[in-house]
């Protein structure tokens, strides 16, 4: 049965498909102030699940949550020279409070390194206070000239971790631990998104960091998206805020620090990694709703059956919703669940009752087939695990298929029109990087020959991953 497409097909216009999907699946709206965003319940539910999975991994590292103020005195930002240069153009500034002009304007936090260091310098005295491992879940503001829902918004939600350590090595290892065991594990095992873990070039580093680790993913259109970053800050902020600890007999040493963040941008990455022309596809482990049981018609017997199936699935550990809103046409509801990407649909009508079956529709692997109702509870958990693995595999296969090894800047630019290019960093270097930038192509990260994260930019054999990026 042919029908008019609900979304602009991806192949026709990927950005428009993205916007269509966000509208039709009721994920978000533009806010009234330029670049701000209303996160609607279904998308916020995805973010809540991301938060809960990330938070558990963060806590496992010994990090504790806290909360620092939204408002930062403007003077704090200027204490670390590169930091203020990086953020000044994006700041929102409060000049009036309580009906009066403020003596000193305050900025709405674009990130919290400065204000957190102000307190770390009070809290850290002896080596016993280290490591100090803090995370916060918060909103931040960076004025966006070309906003795009979830991907670049003036206000976004995120977690930002901030830690202080006794030595360079401790800080380096902790930044790497977060990069691997928190972010890497979460992306792979929950978001089902294949990423390239790597190291940012000097040009792409966080303002004030000595090293930035990243996970770069390939979206459905072949462009790159930076999923999260984990920074080594060295002693830059410690020196700006005089954060020291007593090392031995009377000797004070500046602490070594890290910061690391991931944002609501991951919702955009989820859409562009797994979405297709019918809508979103949510990885089962992330999904707040893993299966929906739909009553096709409002017969008492059908309603009783969908509730029974719902109860069985719930007992089998499946996060299930029963859709018995039969005053809304079945077709409309089916399309809506498809748009929202719920992994498994189980549809029950009067005819199914006679046969003792239900229609099992798989959103991720595709396909539909009648299944004996008695078999569902045993079947669905396995399907969900299969589909989780399939999504990860699909993102990995896409990346491999659309990545080419190149040896010149021209080839790199050409490859970046449809995917990623790999080029020797020794050959490309900062000069080549500048040339790529003039073509709108960036070095997403450096990886070592064996695929690991290099300890230094100029480690022999380093490969630059080059792409257009969101």
Q: What is the spatial distance between Cα 14 and Cα 459, in angstroms, rounded to a whole number? A: 37
CB of 157 to a copy of itself, least distance (A): 7
Three-state DSSP class for residue 251: coil
Least distance to a copy of itself, CB of residue 100, Å: 9
- Shortest distance (Å) from residue 89 CB to Zn ion: 14
d(Cα 308, Cα 359) in Å, to the nearest integer? Answer: 15
In the complex, minimum distance from the CB of residue 23 to a copy of itself, in angstroms, rounded to a whole number: 12
Shorter beta-carbon distance to Zn ion: residue 105 or 370: 105
Helix (H, G, I), strand (E, B) or coil at 252: strand
Beta bridge partners of 245: 253
Q: What distances in angstroms separate CA 98 from CA 94, 95, 101, 102, 216, one per listed residue?
A: 11, 10, 8, 9, 44
The item of a copy of itself, Zn ion, none sharing an interface with residue 408, based on CB under 5 to 8 Å by kind, is none
The span from the CA of 291 to the CA of 361, in Å, is: 10
**119 vs 185, beta carbon nearer a copy of itself:** 119
Whole-number minimum distance, CB 327 to a copy of itself, in Å? 7
What does 315 interact with, of Zn ion, a copy of itself, none (CB < 5 to 8 A by kind)?
A: none
Q: Residue 351 binds which one of a copy of itself, Zn ion, none, with CB within 5 to 8 A depending on kind?
A: none
Residue 401 CA to residue 470 CA, distance in Å, equals 20
CB of 68 to a copy of itself, least distance (A): 5
Give the nearer residue to a copy of itself in terms of CB position, either 29 or 414: 29
Residues listed for the chain: 470
Nearer CB in complex with Zn ion: 88/303: 88
CA 169 from centroid of its chain's CA atoms = 27
Distance CA 107, CA 125 (A): 29
Instruction: Work out the angle at residue 228's Cα, subtended by the Cα atoms of residues 227 and 232, and round it to the nearest 5 degrees.
Output: 150
The closest alpha carbon to 39, from 52, 24, 53, 22, belongs to 22
**Nearer to a copy of itself among residue 94 and residue 365 (C-beta):** 94
Cα–chain center distance at 81 = 29
195-221 per-residue burial string, b: 16 or more CB within 10 A, e: under 16: bbbbbbbeebbbbbbbbbbbbbbbbbb
Provide the binding-site residues for a copy of itself, judged by CB under 8 A: 29, 31-34, 36-41, 44-45, 47-48, 64-73, 76, 88-99, 105-106, 108, 115, 118-119, 122, 128, 134, 138-139, 141, 143-145, 154-155, 157, 327-328
CB of 31 to a copy of itself, least distance (A): 4
CB atoms within 10 A of CB 456: 11
End-to-end CA distance of the chain: 36
73 binds, among a copy of itself, Zn ion, none (CB under 5 to 8 A by kind): a copy of itself
**How many other C-beta atoms can be found within 10 angstroms of the C-beta atom of residue 303?**
16
103 sits near Zn ion (criterion: CB under 5 A): no
**Which of a copy of itself, Zn ion, none does 202 bind, CB closer than 5 to 8 A by kind?**
none
Instruction: Name the residue nearer to a copy of itself (CB basis): 23 or 235.
Output: 23
Query: What's the CA angle centered on 33, arms 32 and 37, to 5 degrees?
Result: 70
94 vs 455, which CB is nearer to Zn ion? 94
20 binds, among Zn ion, a copy of itself, none (CB under 5 to 8 A by kind): none
Q: What is the CA radius of gyration of the chain?
A: 25
CB under 5 A: which stretch of 96-104, 124-132, 323-331, 406-414 binds Zn ion?
96-104
Specify the residue, 101 or 327, whose C-beta has the smaller distance to Zn ion: 101
Distance CA 342, CA 319 (A): 11
Give 292 or 465: the residue with its C-beta nearer to a copy of itself: 292
Question: Cα separation of 55 and 442, whole Å?
Answer: 31
**Of the two residues 92 and 246, which places its CB atom closer to Zn ion in the complex?**
92
Choose the contact partner of 209 out of Zn ion, a copy of itself, none; CB within 5 to 8 A by kind.
Answer: none
| Shortest Å, Cβ 95 to Zn ion | 7
Q: How far is the CB of 150 from a copy of itself (least distance, A)?
A: 12
Cα three-residue angle 285-289-293, rounded to 5 degrees: 130
> Could you say which of a copy of itself, Zn ion, none residue 90 binds, taking C-beta under 5 to 8 angstroms by partner kind?
a copy of itself
Q: Which does 125 bind (CB under 5 to 8 A by kind): a copy of itself, Zn ion, none?
A: none
Cα 236 to chain centroid distance, Å, stands at: 27
Picked from a copy of itself, Zn ion, none, the partner binding residue 308 (CB below 5 to 8 A depending on kind) is none
- Partner in contact with 36, chosen from a copy of itself, Zn ion, none, beta carbon below 5 to 8 Å by kind: a copy of itself
CB of 94 to a copy of itself, least distance (A): 5
CB nearer to a copy of itself: pick between 33 and 304: 33
Phi and psi at residue 30, to the nearest 5°: -70, 140
From 2, 101, 128, 300, residue interacting with Zn ion (rule: CB under 5 A) = 101
How far apart are the C-alpha atoms of 433 and 410, rounded to whole Å?
A: 12
Shortest Å distance, C-beta 96 to Zn ion: 6
Q: What does the binding site for Zn ion look like in residue numbers (CB under 5 A)?
A: 101
């Amino acid at each position: 049965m042919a029908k008019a497409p609900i979304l602009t097909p991806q192949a026709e216009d990927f950005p428009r498909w993205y916007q269509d999907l966000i509208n039709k699946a009721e994920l978000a709206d533009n806010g009234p102030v330029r670049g701000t965003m209303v996160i609607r319940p279904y998308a916020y539910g995805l973010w809540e699940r991301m938060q809960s999975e990330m938070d558990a991994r963060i806590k496992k590292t010994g990090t504790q949550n806290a909360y620092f103020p939204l408002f930062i005195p403007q003077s704090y930002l200027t204490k670390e020279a590169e930091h203020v240069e990086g953020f000044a153009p994006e700041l929102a500034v409060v000049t009036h409070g309580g009906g009066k002009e403020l003596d000193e304007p305050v900025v709405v936090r674009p990130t919290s390194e400065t204000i957190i260091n102000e307190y770390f310098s009070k809290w850290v005295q002896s080596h016993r206070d280290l490591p100090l491992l803090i995370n916060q879940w918060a909103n931040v503001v960076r004025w966006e000239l070309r906003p795009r829902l979830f991907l670049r918004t003036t206000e976004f939600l995120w977690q930002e971790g901030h830690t202080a350590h006794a030595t360079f090595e401790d800080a380096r290892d902790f930044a790497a631990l977060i990069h691997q065991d928190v972010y890497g594990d979460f992306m792979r095992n929950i978001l089902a998104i294949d990423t390239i873990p790597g190291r940012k070039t000097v040009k792409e580093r966080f303002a004030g960091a000595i090293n930035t680790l990243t996970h770069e993913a390939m979206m459905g259109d072949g462009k790159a998206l930076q999923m999260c970053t984990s920074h080594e800050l060295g002693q830059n902020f410690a020196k700006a805020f005089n954060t020291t600890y007593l090392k031995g007999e009377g000797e004070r040493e500046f602490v070594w620090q890290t910061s690391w963040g991931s944002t609501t941008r991951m919702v955009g990455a989820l859409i562009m990694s797994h979405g297709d022309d019918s809508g979103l596809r949510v990885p089962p482990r992330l999904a707040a709703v893993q299966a929906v049981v739909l009553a096709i018609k409002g017969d008492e017997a059908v309603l009783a059956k969908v509730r029974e199936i719902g109860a069985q699935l719930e007992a089998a550990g499946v996060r299930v919703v029963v859709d018995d809103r039969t005053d809304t046409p079945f077709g409309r509801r089916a399309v809506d669940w498809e748009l929202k990407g719920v992994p498994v649909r189980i549809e029950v009508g009067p005819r199914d009752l006679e046969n003792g079956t239900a229609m099992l529709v798989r959103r991720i692997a595709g396909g539909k087939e009648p299944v004996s109702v008695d078999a569902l509870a045993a079947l669905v958990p396995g399907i969900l695990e299969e589909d989780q693995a399939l999504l990860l595999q699909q993102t990995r296969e896409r990346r491999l298929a659309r990545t080419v090894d190149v040896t010149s800047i021209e080839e790199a630019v050409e490859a970046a029109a449809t995917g990623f290019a790999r080029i020797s960093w020794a050959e490309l270097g900062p000069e080549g990087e500048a040339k790529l930038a003039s073509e709108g192509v960036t070095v997403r990260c450096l990886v070592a020959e064996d695929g690991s994260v290099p300890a230094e930019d100029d480690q022999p054999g380093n490969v630059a991953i080059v792409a257009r990026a969101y």
